[in-house]
């Protein structure tokens, strides 16, 4: 009886461990490429500090172009079949509209203006880790038509291209463009997913790529060149911690000044020493704790999705 | 010397018994040889057109001294090719496709599984069907070699249910799925 109870507990412990040892699944959102938006007249100009900047108007595109909806639905359906349901662009855009309505009410009370771009807003709301960008062009030659199709996967935080596939179909007569598009998606998606799988394999082997920024509050008495926290400058101590806590010491210091440090291509492990899945925020929290326990430095940790984190030293 | 009627009859009966046995033996050898060819990648595979959703429509060129064996082996070769080899695209707008696995030693590592999978009447049959009832176009039938070494190179169009095949191999833990580990 006693041994049975022990075996049940052991099995329960193993199952719980297995559940928690799953890495966090990256989320995917399908959007049209800027090039497609430009060619189809869905770019909108926004005045930003006196300068006119073009942004893709996804809301207008989803309302006015049924091919786009068909492409997004088809790609979404095929990705779901592979166990990767995608984030819905239209639903995210509706959330932004609701958020904007709330912001408008708030700003009218405070008088402050929002400085976020539409893309920043979409990124913030959708929180997609990989953007699947699609582009296509229907080429017509007399009564014949063919489709030139491209699909590209971009890591939302590092902006690295992680997968791509493109190709041109054969000229066909009497076939609707929507059918040609469907064929193009079917022809390209397996290749794309093959590369995406390689990207995930690389992630499991060499860790997740994130970017990490360190700043200091203006009113803090110290900076990153202060030597009062040990026998080295604070910035060097932080770099040492980075080396100890990245997979195979892989990270690149892009910029380091007295008030900020920026690390790119930081390879963080997918699991912590307890076997639990971690993301950039949990990993960055390790540095926050280290600075607090070793040097009594308070800091504020801010994250964006799974892959970008910022630590501001000086106070919470 | 006079040969009796009884003797003639016995010879005739023996011929009727031995010939099919001999033929059966030859057929078995041809099948064995074809299986060996499959394992040693002796077949060619090319994309024909974009198949219906979840399938690849491909042409497989198989080699055998016997037509029937070459046609039957095309199914095995097609599934084998989709798993381990992939295929090149064509100028007719057919995109190249990568194999379902990138691991070059997978067939050796999971030998028991694949021996059973590719056995005659094995599970591979579930994922492949001949198009045009296996009819071979005149241009897709070639004779290679001379006399005793003569063999047929036969091109057959087949449809492989690649999505089902991938799912089956993922569920059996043979290949990694896109969402494995998450």
* pTM of full prediction above 0.80: no
Asked if the C-beta of B171 comes within 8 angstroms of chain A's C-beta atoms, the answer is no
The tokens for A12 are: 């329960």
Percent of chain A exceeding pLDDT 70 equals: 84
Give tens-digit pLDDT for A200-212: 889 888 998 998 9
Give the H/E segment covering residue A266.
strand A260-268
C-alpha–C-alpha distance, residues A298 and A313, integer Å = 6
What does DSSP say about strands A28-32 and A172-173: parallel, antiparallel, or unpaired? unpaired
C-alpha–C-alpha distance, residues A232 and A210, integer Å = 26
Give tens-digit pLDDT for A214-244: 999 988 999 999 998 888 999 999 999 999 9
Q: Which residue has the tokens 């005045």?
A: A47
Give tens-digit pLDDT for A264-283: 899 999 888 887 778 888 89
Nearest-by-Cβ selection for A170 from B93, B98, B176: B93
Asked if the C-beta of A175 comes within 8 angstroms of chain B's C-beta atoms, the answer is no
3-state SS, residue A160: coil
Architecture of the structural domain at A28-204: 3-Layer(aba) Sandwich (3.40)
Q: Which residues of A touch B163 (CB under 8 A)?
A: 81
Q: What are phi and psi of A175, to 5 degrees?
A: -110, 135
Cβ partners under 8 Å of residue A143, min gap 6: A173, A174
The reply to whether residue A187 touches residue B94, judged by beta carbons under 8 angstroms, is yes
Distance between A146 CA and the closest CA of chain B, angstroms: 10
The tokens for A60 are: 């207008």
pLDDT for position A120:
67
C-alpha–C-alpha distance, residues A32 and A28, integer Å = 13
3-state SS, residue A25: coil
Residues A255, A256, A262, A266, CA torsion sign: positive
Please give the residue that has the higher pLDDT: either A119 or A165: A165
Q: Which residues of B touch A183 (CB under 8 A)?
A: 50
C-alpha–C-alpha distance, residues B11 and B78, integer Å = 44
Q: Is the pLDDT of residue B29 over 50?
A: yes
Please give the residue that has the higher pLDDT: either A101 or A267: A267
Nearest-by-Cβ selection for A170 from B92, B96, B182: B92
Nearest-by-Cβ selection for B177 from A23, A83, A188: A83
The reply to whether residue B97 touches residue A170, judged by beta carbons under 8 angstroms, is no
Asked if the C-beta of B89 comes within 8 angstroms of chain A's C-beta atoms, the answer is yes
Q: Is the pLDDT of residue B47 over 80?
A: yes
Give tens-digit pLDDT for B124-173: 999 999 887 777 888 888 888 777 677 888 899 999 999 999 999 999 99
ipTM score: 0.75
Architecture of the structural domain at A207-313: 2-Layer Sandwich (3.30)
The tokens for B32 are: 């064995």
Distance between A290 CA and the closest CA of chain B, angstroms: 29
The reply to whether residue A197 touches residue B96, judged by beta carbons under 8 angstroms, is no
C-alpha–C-alpha distance, residues A8 and B109, integer Å = 33
Domain residue limits, chain B: 5-171
Q: Which residues of A touch B96 (CB under 8 A)?
A: 191
Span B91-119, mean pLDDT?
90
Interface of B with A in 98-117 (CB under 8 A): 98, 102
- Give Dmax over CA atoms of chain B in angstroms: 87
Give tens-digit pLDDT for A137-147: 999 998 899 99
Q: Which residue has the tokens 């006399």?
A: B147
The one-character DSSP state at B140 is G
Tell me which of A70-74, A97-101, A288-292, B118-122 is least confident.
A97-101
Where are the CATH 3.40.50 domain residues in chain A? 28-204
Where are the CATH 3.30.1360 domain residues in chain A? 207-313
pLDDT for position A73:
93
3-state SS, residue B66: coil
Identify the band that residue B26 occupies on the pLDDT scale cut at 50, 70 and 90: low
């Amino acid at each position: 009886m006693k041994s049975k109870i022990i075996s049940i507990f052991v099995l329960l412990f193993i199952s719980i461990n297995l559940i928690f040892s799953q890495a966090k699944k990256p989320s995917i959102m399908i959007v049209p490429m800027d090039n497609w938006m430009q060619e189809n007249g869905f770019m909108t100009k926004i005045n930003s500090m006196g300068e006119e900047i073009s942004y893709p108007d996804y809301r207008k595109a989803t309302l006015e172009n049924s091919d786009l909806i068909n492409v997004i639905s088809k790609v979404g359906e095929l990705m779901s079949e592979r166990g990767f349901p995608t984030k819905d662009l239209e639903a995210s855009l509706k959330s932004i509209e609701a958020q904007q309505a709330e912001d408008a009410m708030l700003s009218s009370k405070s008088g402050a203006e929002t400085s976020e771009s539409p893309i920043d807003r979409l990124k913030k709301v959708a929180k997609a880790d990989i953007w699947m960008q699609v582009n296509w062009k229907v080429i017509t030659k007399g009564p014949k038509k063919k489709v030139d199709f491209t699909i590209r996967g971009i890591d939302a935080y590092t902006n690295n291209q992680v997968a791509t596939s493109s190709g041109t179909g054969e000229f066909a007569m009497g076939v609707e463009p929507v059918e040609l598009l469907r064929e193009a998606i079917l022809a390209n998606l397996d290749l794309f997913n093959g590369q995406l799988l390689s990207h995930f394999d690389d992630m499991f082997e060499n860790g997740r790529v994130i970017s990490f920024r360190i700043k200091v509050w203006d009113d803090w008495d110290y900076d990153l060149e202060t030597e009062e926290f040990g026998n080295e400058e604070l910035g060097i101590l932080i770099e040492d911690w980075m080396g100890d806590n990245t997979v195979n010491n892989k990270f690149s210091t892009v910029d380091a000044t007295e008030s900020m440090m920026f690390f790119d291509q930081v390879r963080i492990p997918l699991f912590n020493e307890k076997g639990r899945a971690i993301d950039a925020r949990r990993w960055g929290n390790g540095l926050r704790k280290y600075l607090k326990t070793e040097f009594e430095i308070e800091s504020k940790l801010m994250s964006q999705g799974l892959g970008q984190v910022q630590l501001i030293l000086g106070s919470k | 010397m006079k040969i009796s009627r009884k003797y003639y009859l016995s010879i005739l009966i023996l011929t009727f018994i031995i010939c099919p046995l001999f033929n059966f033996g030859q057929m078995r050898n041809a099948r064995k040889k074809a299986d060996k060819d499959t394992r040693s990648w002796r077949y060619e595979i090319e994309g024909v057109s974009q198949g219906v959703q979840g399938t690849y429509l491909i042409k497989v060129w198989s080699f055998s001294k016997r037509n029937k064996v070459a046609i039957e082996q095309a199914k095995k070769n097609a599934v084998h090719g989709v798993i381990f080899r992939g295929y090149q695209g064509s100028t007719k707008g057919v995109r190249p496709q990568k194999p379902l696995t990138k691991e070059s030693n997978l067939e050796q590592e999971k030998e028991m599984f694949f021996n059973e999978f590719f056995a005659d009447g094995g599970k591979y049959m579930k994922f492949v069907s001949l198009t045009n009832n296996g009819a071979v176009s005149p241009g897709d039938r070639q004779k290679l070699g001379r006399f005793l070494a003569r063999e047929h190179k036969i091109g057959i169009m087949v449809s492989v249910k690649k999505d089902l095949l991938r799912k089956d191999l993922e569920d059996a833990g043979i290949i990694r799925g896109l969402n494995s580990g998450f």
